[in-house]
């Protein structure tokens, strides 16, 4: 299978910084922001963005990971104290919005609490999604065919690249 490079590690680092600044700018009146990263890759992206926000902003930043069982997505429950999300700004983060399905299912358990708003951030957004999910913050947008798949690669907490397969 042919791989087409989309982003290098250096480009990703710059995009994460820009996304963090956009999140801060959009939420500058807030005292606290909740970052929820979809495990596995989205959580790495989310922790990177949360780290940048803590360095550059005056926001109190809390991070939570969210696991989604892609074979049975409605069976997952999240273990977050309800008070942590009630009337808070929540930014849901994933590495890639391929079909939009994972993000859509990730929103559902968050709605069991009463966040003031849920915003979505993705490192790479695929233009042709099957589900109605439109991220608020996008690192890089790619127009693809329906057969293409976007892969983000990691080494621990470091995001090493993104490519199209």
CA–CA dist 141, 61 (Å, integer): 26
Q: Which two tokens stand for residue 160?
A: 């090493």
- Give the pLDDT of residue 147: 81
pLDDT value of position 10: 98
Does the model's pTM come out above 0.85? Answer: yes
Where in the chain are the domains?
Answer: 4-70+82-164
pLDDT along the chain (165 residues), means of 10: 91 98 98 94 97 97 87 64 84 93 89 93 89 94 86 95 94
Quote the pLDDT of residue 79. 59
* pLDDT of amino acid 31: 96
SS3 88: coil
Report which DSSP code applies to 98: S
- Asked whether 100 and 71 are in contact (CB, 8 A), the reply is no
Query: pLDDT at position 109, please?
Result: 84
CATH placement of domain 4-70+82-164: 3.40.50.2020
Rounded CA-CA distance 35/93 in Å is 7
């Amino acid at each position: 299978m042919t791989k087409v490079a989309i982003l290098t590690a250096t480009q990703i680092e710059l995009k994460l910084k820009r996304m963090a600044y956009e999140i801060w700018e959009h939420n500058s009146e807030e005292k606290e922001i909740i970052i929820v990263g979809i495990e596995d890759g989205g959580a790495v992206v989310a922790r990177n963005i949360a780290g940048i926000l803590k360095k550059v902003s005056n926001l109190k930043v809390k991070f939570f990971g969210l696991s989604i069982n892609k074979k049975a997505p409605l069976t997952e429950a999240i273990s977050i104290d309800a008070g942590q999300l009630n009337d808070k700004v929540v930014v849901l983060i994933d590495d890639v919005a391929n079909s939009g399905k994972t993000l859509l299912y990730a929103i559902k358990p968050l709605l069991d609490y009463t966040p003031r708003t849920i915003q979505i951030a993705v490192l790479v957004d695929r233009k042709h999604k099957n589900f109605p999910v439109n991220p608020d913050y996008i690192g890089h947008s790619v127009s693809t065919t329906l057969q293409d798949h976007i892969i983000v690669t990691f080494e621990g907490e470091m995001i090493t690249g993104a490519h199209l397969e």
